[in-house]
Structure 1
Amino acid sequence: MTSSQVQNHQLAELYEQDFCQWADAIAQRLREGRFDALDVEHLIEEIEDMSWSQKRVLLRNLRIVLLHLLKYQYQPEQRSQSWRSSIIEHRIRIAEAFEDSPSLQAYLLENVEKSYQRARTQAAIETELPLKTFPDATPFSIENVLNEEWLPD
Structure 2
Amino acid sequence: MKFVKVEWNPAAGGFWLDPRGYVAELPKLVDDLPKGAGAFATDPGHYDFGSPRCVKDLELVGASLAGDGDAGFEVRFGANEWKHDSGLVIRYAQVSDLRLAAPGASINDLGPVLLDEILPAKHGCRHEIVFIGGTLAISCADFDARWEWDGGPGGADFE
Q: Where on the TM-score scale, by shorter chain, does this alignment land: which range?
A: under 0.3
**Normalized against structure 2, the TM-score is what?**
0.22
**Larger helix proportion, structure 1 or 2?**
1
Return the index of the structure with the highest Cα Rg.
1
**Larger strand proportion, structure 1 or 2?**
2
**Normalized against structure 1, the TM-score is what?**
0.23
